[in-house]
Amino acid sequence: MGKTGMTAEWLGLISPQLAVISVGKNNYGHPAEETLKILRELDIKVLRTDVEGDIEVVSDGVKWWVNENWD
């Protein structure tokens, strides 16, 4: 797993459609480029709070969606 906390094999097993990365301006280099590369290679959509701002993922218990227009 290294510094990413995940592997391509693990992500292949769980098949996520979306990765939400909660991060602000930092001196640690987060998110790691290695993390973003793995997600890109597996075609997983990435939303980042440092880029998108607030992100709300909502579920009705069957399906989920990202609320894009909320306050």
**pLDDT value of residue 6:** 85
With CA atoms as reference, report the closest residue to 41 among 70, 19, 69.
19
**pLDDT value of residue 61:** 96
Q: List the domain boundaries for the chain.
A: 2-67
pLDDT tens-digit profile of 12-48?
999 999 999 999 989 988 999 999 999 999 999 999 9
Helices (H), the chain: 8-14, 33-41, 49-52
**pLDDT value of residue 23:** 94
**pLDDT value of residue 29:** 86
